[in-house]
Amino acid sequence: MRRFRYVIADVFTDEPLTGNALAVFTDARDLSETDMQVLARETNLSESVFVLPPTTAEADVRIRIFTPAVELPFAGHPTLGAAFVLGGPLSKIVLRIETGAGIVPVTLERDGAQIVFGRMEQPVPRWESVVDPAPILAALGVERSGLPVERYDLGPGHVYVELDSPGAVQGLSPDIGALARATQDGVNCFAHVEGSRWKTRMFAPNHGVAEDPATGSAAGPLAVHLARHGRIAFGEQIEISQGAEIHRPSTLFATTEGEGDRIDRVEVGGSAVLVARGEFGF
């Protein structure tokens, strides 16, 4: 029987048993791609991470990221969570993580020996208008979006729909089957709370995730979307609340730098806590 050790981290929170739970398999060298997908389906978390040696000297480690249904080239909470799990043993301030979308540097902040915060420089997304957003809006049960409905791609794809209020976001009850037919991407519904605070919910049924507690790969493009359309200033950090409706409250921070449609840098940050360790044998 082969045995594979894993760590469970709750990401985008500093409180155990909240945030977005992540399984990190710390040595996946003897796992096949099929094994990884089966294990991700077994954990049934939004994503599971499998740690491998890097393929380039520019990276410290390589990760592969699986939802219960598919492999993703990049995702935010798996990359940040893996940095929290690996940053201690590797004694790194900046951990360079090789993903399917390129190398993602994660800068770790410590309080003594404990890692308390991380900031990752995400791939700069590409974007395009959604030609016919009507099926998406209908599946969500909303009539309109305050900003143009646009799709952003940084490995995973995300569609953004602005609602009138945090209460409207909270009250969403989408038709998940219709949403899966309307788009292959995650659908991010958001509204302004006050000041730099925003509320979001993210639905990705085609990724095997009906609703995600915290979506790091959507936080960066949200900052880009808001800056491009003048809702925030470039360089302004936003605070994103997500996950309360599924009893996993999460907090994410995102910033983008650039001007107009020129995006120079996208950064997403948050905390994480390690809550469990174990091993699978099969």
Q: Domains of the chain: which residue ranges?
A: 3-120+271-281, 126-269
DSSP one-letter string for 57-82: TT-SEEEEEE-SS-EES--HHHHHHH
What pLDDT is stored for residue 1 in this prediction? Answer: 86
List the pLDDT tens digit at each of the 282 positions of the chain: 899 999 999 999 999 999 999 999 999 999 999 999 999 999 999 999 999 999 999 999 999 999 999 999 999 999 999 999 999 888 899 999 999 999 999 999 999 989 999 999 999 999 999 999 999 999 999 999 999 999 999 999 999 999 999 999 999 999 999 999 999 999 999 999 999 999 999 999 999 999 999 999 999 999 999 999 999 999 999 999 999 999 999 999 999 999 999 999 999 999 999 999 999 999
Q: Which of 15, 42, 47, 150 is catalytic?
A: 47
- Spell out a b/e string for 255-281, using b for 16 or more CB atoms within 10 Å of the CB, else e: bbebeeeebeebbbbbbbbbeeeeebe
Q: Give the total residue count for the chain.
A: 282
What pLDDT is stored for residue 15 in this prediction? Answer: 98
128 belongs to the catalytic site = no
CATH class, range 126-269? alpha beta
Architecture of domain 3-120+271-281: Roll (3.10)
Neighbour count for residue 223 (Cβ, 10 Å): 29
DSSP one-letter string for 4-45: EEEEEEEES-SSTT-SEEEEEES--TT--HHHHHHHHHHH-S
On the question of a common fold for 3-120+271-281 and 126-269, the answer reads: yes
